[in-house]
Structure 1
């Protein structure tokens, strides 16, 4: 007879269980995908499945509940159990359609039991595609059976909240180990990809582009957690809006919590350093964009209604000349001046 299955009611409750918390475990990332891409809430607040499990979409397949892990569905007409999360494409080809961030630890490691341990099981009404219950579970070590002690019922609030959160925010809230190690010890830091939102995190990693020799970009980092630095790298990008795949230079940290690396990339406005871990296929922290003016505005030219500004472009120093429209004889006044560019205002 099935024992009472404990229920988790909030995303933070996921911190108290082992489901998908430590790489190469994939459960929490699987749960975020399921909540954000596979479930929709109707006007009555019921959960509707957005794929066809009978066709094996995303590796969904029937779960027989032969070990009596979950409540019996004998008296629940039309309901069946389906499970998802088995990443073995030889037995479940649809699993190849799961996003890269769910599959990456499995694809990058071989003969590692932990990489394919987590599952989501749903009770589904076949005709209406309405989900009655959502469970998370994990295989027992050395066994094909699921662990009763690692099985939990999830409230619909968890599914709704997870589906409305960005992946990195969900992982941080749920206590994913590598993400937590990037923020302060009480877990209240934010891992938003917006650099301005990160600026007040004093315990967070610091990433910066500085001026190197010959006008090249110098990538610098410090304050990276020791546990992260052994499995992390930093990359240089042209601007904040560039996708993570468009990396100009990659530098493996190799355990170094701080350091610098001189690149051959010329200094330009907008260059940015991002931090990655080997277990996640996206940047987990971003530094500020390089400011070609170093944040210094134009300097007034004494005796003239004009100003000069220094800036960097393609690794070289440049100047801009700003003049007021009323300064009509500026050409003759500055005839002997060396100027790169002028801008009227």
Structure 2
């Protein structure tokens, strides 16, 4: 469990902090209700705030926000906020301001680990809000969450209703490449999601495509697209070849032949006629992007400044090591350490499918964060439900320093 003090909680919903309004402090839910902070879709600040309140424990003695992950590792898309405009008051020595929730930035794919109810709506609104820890405590105590995703979504809806979040607006913006193309209420309950099959392929899941939609639109398709995460933030995602599926049921699941990979995203296409289909006049609803780690952040390796993460690339299991840059002699300390790949979390430590020594992992330059270097090893093991990786100190099988949640 990591703990640190966040001087300010920042919700930054754009790539550039231009024309930022004065910072306001919100101390309780009533203060939040009486502001315009994140009040109407497609803004997602309230959902993001609700999620963060569930993650944060508050030390009332010294007003610290305690987290079970390290923001400087880049988890959930956290990154340091430079405050070039001098908006915020200075931090104490060794403390930093962080921002989170920049769903529009393809550079920070880790934000895709945020829950689907956070990613459902967003736009490019620029604003900053200063959140008092008392507000986080109040949200967490009033709307406590569990491990059930649907229940957490319902609690978030209760919170939004109290804050008077407005859901009646409709908007269409062709430049919002990874947000819903049509924002009407008709789509609010739709669920689109990508999971994994037993063979390392993408399982497409959809729910609550209402009978009204099925009757109105003659052709209802779900595509699987690949977000490329290039430097062009307005670039359209590529539809994976032959990964488009005509559906006739309001809810269902379908095993596809698309290898599981980070950046995959399901998208709903609706056509009223064959004429619309030919002219590509589309209405869209987007599901959350698959982040490669199944929305599980790196787990701390005991005794060292490093973390372990199970990752999927092209249908295969990969292991990632997050090594803090100050841990410069890690290859000496961990020279005999290794990562085992297991088909099931029930397997004994010596019953691994394959393994690799930590010192043989390759540095991934394009995903290195500000404070951590990321090393990866690609195994031949198919990513599938039940797969797990473990970090062992040496050749003795009883010294497990970290093990991931099974896939």
The TM-score, its normalising length taken from structure 2, stands at 0.34
**Greater C-alpha radius of gyration:** 1
The TM-score, its normalising length taken from structure 1, stands at 0.40
